[in-house]
Amino acid sequence: MTKQAELFQFITPIVVDNGKFFINELFQRKFNCDAPDKTNHLIAFYKSPGGEILPVSYTSFLPYKNIILVGGAMTDGNVIKKMSDKEKVIISSSGGIYLNMLRYAFDHFSGQCDAFFGRVNDPRALEVDLAAGFEETDYQYIVAHYHKPLSNWRKRKLGKMISKIGPF
């Protein structure tokens, strides 16, 4: 069994329409604002040994023209604290929940875009983004994941387009 498969025995990523319903409280705690309404909400749900199902991680995948903007990533430390030591070891050995969410999403959304772009200024988040397959661009804080063959000219054009939209 792969490390991701082992993780997905108790963590399940699900794309939902009304993510705000599940994660608005967490969004308020992390960002001091409401969760977005119009996006693809990818939520990782944790199923405890007792059967309780809790949202443990969230990331937004917002379609924009022919790419997807990745943002709003967060993990609920309070849910992590409820996990067993064995579950925490599995999370750590698999690279973490966020890394596996990105890998899941890159596969899930690959047919819907030419590339994924993220905006990151946190060194820890950047480390995970790069491990998942993002690469740095010519623009500060902007990373890209090209899952399709694109010319360097096209990559630069997309990067420039994303650099002009501001924070996402």
Domain assignment present for residue 111? The answer is: yes
pLDDT at 167: 83
For residue 124, CA distances in Å to 22, 115, 121, 130, 159 come to 25, 22, 9, 10, 22
CA–CA distance, 89 with 63 (Å, rounded to integer) = 34
How many domains are there within the chain?
1
Nearest residue to 57 (alpha-carbon basis) of 89, 26, 88, 92: 26
Domain hosting 95: range is 3-163
pLDDT at 24: 94
pTM: 0.92
pLDDT at 1: 80
Domain assignment present for residue 168? The answer is: no
The domain that holds 30 is classified in CATH as 3.40.630.30
Beta strand pairing status for 142-145 and 135-136? Answer: antiparallel
Q: Which of 31-35, 64-68, 79-83, 133-137 has the lowest mean pLDDT?
A: 31-35
Q: Which of 30-34, 101-105, 149-153 has the lowest mean pLDDT?
A: 30-34
List pLDDT tens digits, range 38-73: 889 999 999 998 999 999 999 999 999 999 999 989
Domain assignment present for residue 107? The answer is: yes
Angle at 110 between CA 8 and CA 39, to 5 degrees: 80
Beta strand pairing status for 142-145 and 115-119? Answer: antiparallel
List pLDDT tens digits, range 86-145: 999 999 999 999 999 999 999 999 999 999 999 998 999 999 999 999 999 999 999 999
Domain assignment present for residue 102? The answer is: yes
Asked whether the beta carbons of 61 and 39 are under 8 A apart, the reply is yes
